[in-house]
Structure 1
């Protein structure tokens, strides 16, 4: 599913006249997709280096889901989270797990990289991207907290408690 078609579906646009357009994945659909990836790892006896990275990505996606409302529906970030859980992650893991383990872990397929190394690079890229999206989703709440603190300080004066700022005293 491309970004254009996904955004069109969010707006209720049909790709073909009269065709029923499925709804975009819900939070439950995304969580179910992550559970399916986890099951693939267990069934395929994936190495710990893969399992730990997939679990990190899944944990970040789960932490991001409640915050997606701050980013807005139909944003590139919300699409990336959905696509990572339902497409990119299952495709990467599935491609690796379909290969014979010994071959995938020892034979170079991309320069000097084995299939395992290629997968680890892909998982690292997905993890970094999901971390950035989580930071962006939480940034709005953090900025609101800072703004509220500035308002309170302007309204009521300096805080009564100890100064908790880091660094040398000014």
Structure 2
């Protein structure tokens, strides 16, 4: 961790805190604008954050790291091939912020890297290919309507065409939980926690289904965590005033963002307990089968050796 260097006289030491606020505004302006594509600008703005943190406002690394997660989500999951230099500059900034004390950044960055490797790493290239293909002319049916036909052919239009288009449109809409960790109002680290929770609950439900325990208490708890508990926590956070949710303490010095992070950690641990119990149950079944095979074939194998 980089130590703070209190180089300013005590009478002027307070100035680093308002300077940190202006540095964060500048940092956000770089990340979420066209200048976020320029690695030099990203590194320059990150350097200002680091200098101010070293001078005595080390807290500035935490909100800057949260903004950086949003930057990665914006640049890495959509045509990422054109943003590689800026993303590398962002990784350098992430290392600097972790050195200032924002070590929690490692977990959401790891989760985002896994998600990127399994989704955006492939779909980013596919988007580029799609853009080179000739696009059909805009027709009414592309907007979900019916084809344009003459009056004499009106009876030839299938009655089910409208319902078919509507059903296809519904399937393209993400479910409520997926929409949560895509909500840009949430900080990047919170969205990363929600993505991890999504992956773990899906894994737990898949294993329980394979064991024939889809109706078990563990499956019920996993579904409830995903469909009720986590969304309720996020909605309560989003109901807080946006300008105060991440800076004003609510209880024991913890902000709304801190409390939401703790609640999501509790839910992640609960799903992990379900996975551990599933592993234990599967292991017991495997051991039982091993004993059965040993009793059935172990003696015969020895007789054949004789």
Q: Shorter-chain TM-score: what band?
A: 0.5 to 0.7
Secondary structure at the counterpart of residue 113 of structure 1: coil
Looking at both structures, which has the greater relative contact order when contacts are Cα pairs under 8 Å and sequence separation is at least 6? 1
User: Distance in 2 between the 1:42 and 1:72 partners?
Assistant: 28
Cα distance change on mapping 1:154 and 1:100 into 2, 3 Å: same
How far residue 85 of structure 1 moved from its aligned partner, in angstroms, is 1.5
Q: 1:85 aligns with which of 206, 226, 235?
A: 226
Contact 1:109 1:115 in 2 (8 A): yes
Contact 2:237 2:257 in 1 (8 A): yes
User: Distance in 2 between the 1:124 and 1:52 partners?
Assistant: 11
Contact 1:106 1:114 in 2 (8 A): yes
Contact 1:107 1:114 in 2 (8 A): yes
Contact 1:71 1:137 in 2 (8 A): no
User: Distance in 2 between the 1:112 and 1:124 partners?
Assistant: 18
User: Distance in 2 between the 1:43 and 1:66 partners?
Assistant: 26
User: CA offsets, 1:54-98, max 9 Å, x none?
Assistant: 11111111112233344462x432321221121111111122123
How far residue 134 of structure 1 moved from its aligned partner, in angstroms, is 1.9
Kindly tell me the number of residue pairs found equivalent between the two proteins.
124
User: Distance in 1 between the 2:181 and 2:288 partners?
Assistant: 44
Q: Which residue of 2 aligns with 1:128?
A: 269
Q: 1:58 aligns with which of 180, 184, 198?
A: 198
1:2-81 residue pairs with structure 2 within 5 A?
Answer: 35-69=175-209, 70-71=212-213, 73=215, 75-81=216-222
94-103 or 118-127: bigger deviation: 94-103
* 5+ long unaligned stretches in structure 2: 1-173, 300-306
User: Distance in 1 between the 2:196 and 2:297 partners?
Assistant: 43
How far residue 130 of structure 1 moved from its aligned partner, in angstroms, is 0.8
User: CA offsets, 1:3-53, max 9 Å, x none?
Assistant: xxxxxxxxxxxxxxxxxxxxxxxxxxxxxxx83233233334322221121
Secondary structure at the counterpart of residue 186 of structure 2: coil
Contact 2:181 2:192 in 1 (8 A): no
TM-score, structure 1 normalization = 0.63
How far residue 124 of structure 1 moved from its aligned partner, in angstroms, is 0.6
Which has more radius of gyration?
A: 2
* 5+ long unaligned stretches in structure 1: 1-33, 159-170
Cα distance change on mapping 1:76 and 1:152 into 2, 3 Å: closer
* 1:102 maps to 2:243: yes
Contact 1:44 1:97 in 2 (8 A): no
79-88 or 62-71: bigger deviation: 62-71
Q: Which residue of 2 aligns with 1:143?
A: 284
How far residue 148 of structure 1 moved from its aligned partner, in angstroms, is 1.6
